[in-house]
Amino acid sequence: MVYSVLRFPNFAHVEYATVGAYFAFTLSAALNLPLGLAAPVAVIGAALVGLATDWLVFRKLRERSDIILMIASFALAIAIREFVLMFWGPSPRFYPVGFSKPLRVFGALISPVQIGIIVTAVVCMGGFHLLLNRTRLGVSMRASADNKLLSEACGIPTDGVVRIIWLIGSGFAGLGGVLIALDTQLQPFMGEAIIIPVFGAAILGGIGSPYGAMLGALLFGFAENVGLTINWTPLLQAFGLEAGAITYIPAGYKEAIPFALLIAMLIFRPQGIMGRRRR
Amino acid sequence: MIAFGIYLLTITCIWGILAISLNLQYGLTGLVNLGQIAFFMIGGYTSVVLVMLAGWPIGLGMAAGALAGAVFGMLLALPTARLQQDYWGISTLAAAEIVRLVFLNQTFGSPYVGGSFGVTNIPRPLEQEIAPTAYPLFYLCLAAVCLVVCWAVAHWLMRLPFGRALKAMREGDEVPLALGKNVSSLRIRVMGVGGALGGLAGALFAHFNAFISPDYFLPLQTFMIWAMVIVGGAGNFAGVLVGALLIELIDSSTRFISGAVPISPQILGPGRMILISVLVILVLIYAPEGLLKERRRRYPEPR
């Protein structure tokens, strides 16, 4: 969504996730707040950081080409990441949630934390859907994304809308960061690790289509983990290559799967699954 | 101090070649290559593998590194040449990460060479013939000669119709298309040239450092090259060299500051990266043309 309204890929976006996760960590570990209270505060914090970066950096560059914006966001991403490194150090941290007994759902082992993540994600998607389609703000957001000049002519304060989108976008990113950190761990480079999958999900689904982004995220996670378990031998033999009975993609290449998928996607269907062709 | 100066200049020459390569792609043509480091990596690894495993002479290995960079650049541009610039940026970033993952997982000859261990004991050119005390100076000269050659090639290309077509492409595809230029083919060719320069720089670095590992080729390093081009002045070759020197100076300044001022390395290390990225943002906002502006050629008014 941020991408479509602001018209450039914000590389700093995933860094708000890192910031949000670390805010939650500090609040819960240092101030002994329960995580249920720390997380919303951290999300608000991440949203404010997002708004601040817009104010400090992107507001002055809004009239420039999207290439300049992209490079500025790349620089900003590195600045934020290094700030996190400076304050919290390079070693990974964990939330004080402790171990929990895994539950058995449909024969799969799932921890309660993971169930919480899924529930939160579904609630967020639903809330976002309602916001976009049922409120005045959502309508003006979609209008600004579609055609900035026209919506200005209709009396929509696009600058204000842009600010609200920054708030919501970076807030959601912060929430995502807390969830990721809950499932695995916190480290300063967590944002860098997810940037390609995040862009991939947005592009795969079609830029500017939030539903497409959700579908894209699902497909990406699926491809990354299922791609490893597929037996590729028939495919190799079809190309006349020597292959053993079972050929798996080595696990070390797990991260390469979404990258390759993303490039293939950009080449063959740059408008995404649910998007319209731009330009 | 002199030893450090020679080291700094050598590294600046090597990264200067990378910056010239990126300047050809971005400054002249407007291609946003966020995977520039892949050329560097491929050039370095190609030369190292050919020299150490196949027993090629080092000069030939370096040439092969440059060639491998060119081939990779053209292959990368082949399917992506029609993409918009923001998509181009993301796909080059993704491609560079794939290349890095390949080198992270691939070992050469023995299980402890290559992969995450990196490659150690890389031979240096003419190591027996030159006294160890004079060796850094020799390598500086070698790197400087390569830099001058690359600069000359870049200038020569700029004066050709090819270079003018590239500049026209930077302002949008419409004009070169109207003049009957094949935009995709131009992009592929400029990526080939950029890849060759990047590959050469990578080979120079590998044989200078005598050790390479995939950790040297993170996206962060691509950002460093971008910082050189942006701060120095996109489109101006002298400018990007000034940028390269400045960024390398900041990057290695911590060696002196840590001795003089008592700051913990946990603050100092990230601090210099913050300094570089803030510098880039400030330049983008307040001096978008960089320290040295591009010299625009004036043509006489048509009568």
Mean pLDDT in residue range A31-52: 76
CB contact under 8 A, A83 and B274: yes
A25 min Cα distance to partner chain B (Å): 19
Give the pLDDT band (50/70/90) at residue B149: very high
Q: What is the C-alpha separation between A80 and B277, in angstroms, rounded?
A: 9
Q: Counting Cβ atoms within 10 Å, is residue B293 exposed (0-12), middle (13-18) or buried (19+)?
A: middle
| Greatest mean pLDDT among B61-70, B129-138, B279-288, B289-298 | B61-70
The string of pLDDT tens digits covering residues A176-222 is 777 777 766 666 666 666 666 666 666 665 555 556 666 666 666 66
Closest partner residue to A67 among B32, B83, B267, by Cβ?
B32
Question: Which residue of A lies nearest to B265 if distances are taken between CA atoms?
Answer: A86
Q: What is the C-alpha separation between A232 and B277, in angstroms, rounded?
A: 43
Residue whose token pair is 């010299």: B295
Token reading at A184: 């695995």
Distances (CA, A) of A78 to A15, A100, B50, B222, B274: 9, 35, 35, 12, 7
Q: Give the residue among A1, A17, A3 at the shortest CA–CA distance from A194.
A: A17
> What pLDDT is stored for residue A200 in this prediction?
65
- Which residues from chain B sit within 8 angstroms of residue A224, using beta carbons? none
- Which residues from chain B sit within 8 angstroms of residue A83, using beta carbons? 270, 274
CB contact under 8 A, A8 and B284: no
The string of pLDDT tens digits covering residues B14-68 is 999 999 998 888 888 888 888 888 999 999 999 988 888 888 888 888 899 899 9
Mean pLDDT in residue range B85-110: 79
A68 close to B (CB below 8 A):
yes
Contacts of B90 (CB under 8 A, 6+ apart): A9, A196, A199, A203, A262, A266, B34
Q: Counting Cβ atoms within 10 Å, is residue A225 exposed (0-12), middle (13-18) or buried (19+)?
A: exposed
> What pLDDT is stored for residue A176 in this prediction?
76
B284 min Cα distance to partner chain A (Å): 7
| Greatest mean pLDDT among A77-86, A175-184, A220-229, B9-18 | B9-18
Q: What is the C-alpha separation between B239 and B278, in angstroms, rounded?
A: 19
B269 close to A (CB below 8 A):
yes
Q: What is the C-alpha separation between A186 and A183, in angstroms, rounded?
A: 10
B114 close to A (CB below 8 A):
no
DSSP A275: P
- For an interface test with B, which of A86, A253, A279 has the most B Cβ atoms less than 10 Å from its Cβ? A86
Q: What is the C-alpha separation between B274 and A57, in angstroms, rounded?
A: 14
DSSP, residue by residue, A198-255: HHHHHHHH-TT-HHHHHHHHHHHHHHHHHTTTS--HHHHHHTT----S-----GGGTT
DSSP B213: -
Q: Give the residue among B96, B215, B113 at the shortest CA–CA distance from A255.
A: B96
The string of pLDDT tens digits covering residues B128-140 is 777 778 888 888 9
CB contact under 8 A, B227 and A75: yes
Q: What is the C-alpha separation between B35 and B16, in angstroms, rounded?
A: 17
Residue whose token pair is 């020299």: B51
Give the pLDDT band (50/70/90) at residue A143: low
Q: Do the beta carbons of residue A234 and residue B83 sit within 8 Å?
A: no
Closest partner residue to A263 among B89, B94, B273, by Cβ?
B94
Label residues B63-77 b or e (16+ Cβ within 10 Å = b). bbbbbbbbbbbbebb
A248 close to B (CB below 8 A):
no
Closest partner residue to A256 among B79, B87, B101, by Cβ?
B101
Closest partner residue to A86 among B104, B227, B266, by Cβ?
B266
User: Rounded to an integer, what is the distance from CA A181 to the centroid of its chain?
Assistant: 13
- For an interface test with A, which of B174, B281, B282 has the most A Cβ atoms less than 10 Å from its Cβ? B281
- Which residues from chain A sit within 8 angstroms of residue B273, using beta carbons? 78-79, 82
B153 min Cα distance to partner chain A (Å): 26
> What pLDDT is stored for residue B197 in this prediction?
92
Given the cut 0.95, state whether the ipTM is greater than it: no
Q: Give the residue among B88, B16, B2 at the shortest CA–CA distance from B242.
A: B16
> What pLDDT is stored for residue A223 in this prediction?
59
Question: Which residue of B lies nearest to A60 if distances are taken between CA atoms?
Answer: B285
- Which residues from chain A sit within 8 angstroms of residue B32, using beta carbons? 67, 70-71
Question: Which residue of B lies nearest to A204 if distances are taken between CA atoms?
Answer: B87
Closest partner residue to A82 among B97, B274, B288, by Cβ?
B274
